[in-house]
Amino acid sequence: MRLPTALLLIFFLPSSAALAQGDTRITFLGRQLEKGRDPRARSQAALVLGQTEDPEAVTPLCGGLKDPSELVRAAVAKGLGALLEPKGLDCLQSVQGEADATVQAAVAESIKAIKAYQARRPRFYLSLDALKDKTGSVPAELVKVTEARLRSKLVRRGAQLAPEKESKAAAKGALKKLGVHGYRITAEIQKTDSGGLRLALLCMTYPEQSLMGQVEVNAAGAPPADLLKALIPRAIEEAAATFDWSSET
């Protein structure tokens, strides 16, 4: 495994137009799902929400399970199944008594899909510290949303997240059972000299916590919410490549 001794600097400067499709897209689709007059349009919104890979999509989708249209409820169930978020499983399990057979089948299929996703063998074991805002200017709610997105993307990358305050003995036991490497990540939101934002991921071995290095990705030219959403997948991609997260013991 490579152990970088210097910081890896990736300057990622997407256009404002591309970034503008961030949070506003979830809001638009959620509004369409909630208030669209045509059940077909509401169904399409539900299916698209399921493809966003964004944990923020869980809330509008869960609300859509109460839609008066069976067509929409079935699409919502499918959307939650595609989204693969743990909170979506809670919503689906709460409507397992659905009267409509088509919706019931979609609910059962999505529950099965999420459970299978949760039970899959991880590629690495990860202890993730709470996201820190070093700028002092990012709203607390946005920090919370960004951390949730970071966690979700890491799990999609193959991480099994370690419990909070896990003992060293418990961590070693989990690693032995899983047969994968363990890492600890500390993530920070920082300001750049150009007025943009930087997402820095400091990586250590886990549970020994030997320093491996740090990756940084920068972005500018859009509101903080859009910048952070764009930075997350780039930072994870660079960290995975730099620290060999796909390797097994």
Please report the pLDDT score of residue 56 as a whole number: 94
What proportion of the chain, given as a percentage, has pLDDT over 90?
87
Q: What is the pLDDT of residue 247?
A: 54
- Report residue 48's pLDDT band, with 50, 70 and 90 as the boundaries: very high
pLDDT, residue 25, reads 86
pLDDT above 70 (res 3): no
Distance CA 39, CA 34 (A): 10
Residue 245 has pLDDT above 70, yes or no: yes
CA distances from 188 to 86, 202, 217 (A): 25, 8, 11
**Interval 118-149: pLDDT, tens:** 999 999 999 999 999 999 999 999 999 999 99
Residue 13, pLDDT score: 41
Per-residue pLDDT at 22 exceeds 60: no
pLDDT at 7 over 70: no
- Residue 161: pLDDT over 50: yes
Mean pLDDT of 195-203: 96
